[in-house]
Amino acid sequence: MRRIVLLLVTLAASYLAVYGNVTEAVTSDSLDVRVYFRQGASNIDLDFNDNGARIDSLVQRLKAMIDDSTARRIERIRLFAGASPEGSSIRNKELSERRALAIQACLHERIPQVDSLVTVEALGVDWERFIAMVETSDVPYRADVLRILVSTPPIN
């Protein structure tokens, strides 16, 4: 978990304009791409954990959607970044903010026309992702760890 940031890119596409008739069909597509960071780092290392290929794939998919001549279009791109639980809450919030901005800058370098569509959310500690990782692991006392994680409110 220490090296993970969740990049959840949500692309809402519709067959009509956003403010079209509400009775018209609307479809949504989501792309879930994870970019990994070294512990405590906020710079994107393209050679680390296949980040280069992950980002290239995302960029290709976004460009294909932008260049598509059909009525589908990208409505928004939401970037979520998180950090692992070690360290203080303040430090983890700052780290996740820097990671989110690094991913946003990376997208800007490759596809500047999506800038106005991008929003970022720094999660601080990404507890949901951490819990999901523990659920699928074989760590000792996994059930006890999960019970504690689920029943203990986060410290702000």
pLDDT (0 to 100) of residue 2 = 30
pLDDT (0 to 100) of residue 82 = 93
Domains of the chain in sequence order: 4-126 (3.30.1330.60)
pTM of the model: 0.72
- The H-or-E segment that residue 51 falls in is helix 51-67
Residue with tokens 């690094």: 102
CA distance linking residue 51 with residue 40, whole number of Å: 17
Instruction: Answer whether 81's CB lies under 8 Å from 99's CB.
Output: yes
- SS3 (DSSP) at 32: strand
What are residue 35's phi and psi, to 5 degrees? -110, 135
Report the 10 Å Cβ neighbour count for 105. Answer: 11
Residue with tokens 């939401």: 78
Q: Going residue by residue through the chain (156 aa), what tens digit of pLDDT does each one get?
A: 333 332 222 222 222 222 233 333 445 667 789 999 999 999 999 999 999 999 999 999 988 888 887 746 788 899 999 998 888 999 999 999 999 999 999 999 999 989 999 999 999 998 888 899 999 999 999 999 999 999 988 765
